[in-house]
Amino acid sequence: MKLLQRIVDVFSSLWLSALLLSLLALLTWLGTLEQVDHGLYEVQKKYFESFFLFHEVGPISIPLPGANLVMWLLLVNIVIGGVVRMRKTKATIGVLITHLGIILLLVAGFVKNYFSTDGHITLFEGESADYYQSYYRWELAILEEQADGTVAEHILSHDQVAACIGAEGRVFRSSTLPFEVRLTHFLKNSRPMPKGPMFEVKVPVADGLFLSELEPEPEAEANVAGVCVTVTGRDGSQQSGLLWGVERAPLTVRMAGKRYGLTLRHERYPMPFEVQLLDFIKEDHPRMAMAKAFESDVKVREDGSERTVKIEMNAPLRDRGLVLYQASWGPQNAGPQTPLFSTLSVVSNPADQYPFYACIVIAVGMLLHFLMKLARHLRSQQSKREAVS
């Protein structure tokens, strides 16, 4: 019991709160500096979504707790010290409400970290989409032609594909496909290069090309993944090739008398509605080719109904747990008659409104505590005046 009590004392202590908040400030500072040489995505993964990390200072690696671990410890600290062990009296009700708001804010962060997805939709006027795709994650889609002219998709996720590093790779089988797929030499950033006779390479060569590994780009969305693939039919027939993230057409194979396509693409997420870009409006600064404002008029189709919505920088579309923001446009150097596309950032976050509610709870708690303190002070002053008189 004494050991348990000491553990509870440590996790509910004020000094632990101060230490954790100091670590969060340190990680934020180090992560901000790290963005000079690395992109936001990589820094976010390393400093804010990890439990442990090593920060490089010259030749020295300093072990640090990641923000993910720090936030979990902070949640435990507030729950035990700021709710469970706090004296429940009329005087502390405002502080208790404030702590509950902070807990809700932390929960919102955890839900966002573990259960949200984000990506984008890029559309020219007249185009529509019922899915959005990731900026960073890749998937392998096996396309199967159907008798009615449609295409069925068999998907290997980013985590499955990215694990196929080196010559060993991994083999994937499905009872619905007449072949197995072997993936090897996955590269986070790559480019197909012609294989000349004057040099050798340590990776597979297909159709005179091989995948050359490139240094990761500071901005993760600029990386183009690649992977080597070998398809083996049940009769032992084989076809090999290279899959690259921005290939113009799928790799086509014929197995069991049927044609299939294999393509490496950004991971896609379905939406419960379809979005069509009706009109993209861009306003430039006077006498400059720099955009002052831009917005998209879109048509949203869901459950047999249609409605028109304007998406602006500070006016996103919220529907069915998705938030669509106006993010960018292009081509950047387009001429007066060149068609423009609009890029909408899409976030699926079950806790999208939690921070707003948390801030309201925190504000109510702090206001209530302030008013109670003020009322107590006024009563004290009144008592002193009556005593003097």
Do 142 and 262 touch, CB atoms closer than 8 A?
A: yes
> Cα–Cα distance between 43 and 114 in angstroms, integer?
17
The total domain count for the chain is: 3
Query: Whole domain around residue 329: which residue ranges?
Result: 118-130+271-348
Q: For residue 224, name the pLDDT band (cuts at 50, 70, 90).
A: very high
SS3 category, 97:
helix
Q: Which of 201, 233, 268 is the last residue of a domain?
A: 268
Q: Encode pLDDT of 300-332 as tens digits.
A: 998 889 999 999 888 899 988 899 999 888 887
* Co-location of 23 and 70 in the same domain: yes
pLDDT at 42 over 80: yes
Q: Which of 246, 268, 290 is the last residue of a domain?
A: 268
pLDDT at 205 over 70: yes
* Co-location of 55 and 74 in the same domain: yes
Q: State the average pLDDT for the chain.
A: 90
* Co-location of 47 and 137 in the same domain: no
* Co-location of 82 and 207 in the same domain: no
pLDDT at 220 over 90: no
- What pLDDT score does 273 carry? 94
Q: For residue 294, name the pLDDT band (cuts at 50, 70, 90).
A: confident
Task: Kindly state the average pLDDT of the residues 337-354.
Answer: 89
Task: Kindly state the average pLDDT of the residues 336-360.
Answer: 89
Residue 150 structure tokens = 């449609």
* Co-location of 343 and 375 in the same domain: no
Q: Which of 268, 287, 322 is the last residue of a domain?
A: 268
- What pLDDT score does 39 carry? 78
* Co-location of 33 and 158 in the same domain: no
pTM listed for this prediction: 0.81
* Co-location of 151 and 140 in the same domain: yes
Contacts of 58 (CB under 8 A, 6+ apart): none
* Co-location of 336 and 291 in the same domain: yes
Q: Encode pLDDT of 132-184 as tens digits.
A: 999 999 999 999 988 888 899 999 999 999 999 999 999 999 999 999 999 99
Residue 88 structure tokens = 């429940």
> Cα–Cα distance between 243 and 183 in angstroms, integer?
10
- What pLDDT score does 54 carry? 92
* Co-location of 167 and 260 in the same domain: yes
* Co-location of 306 and 157 in the same domain: no
* Co-location of 137 and 210 in the same domain: yes
Q: What angle do CA 353, 356, 359 make, to 5 degrees?
A: 150
* Co-location of 141 and 233 in the same domain: yes
Q: For residue 74, name the pLDDT band (cuts at 50, 70, 90).
A: very high
In the chain, beta strands by DSSP E? 52-57, 60-65, 117-124, 128-145, 151-156, 170-173, 179-187, 190-194, 209-213, 226-233, 238-244, 251-255, 258-284, 291-302, 305-311, 317-319, 322-330, 341-348
Q: Encode pLDDT of 123-133 as tens digits.
A: 999 999 999 99
SS3 category, 162:
helix
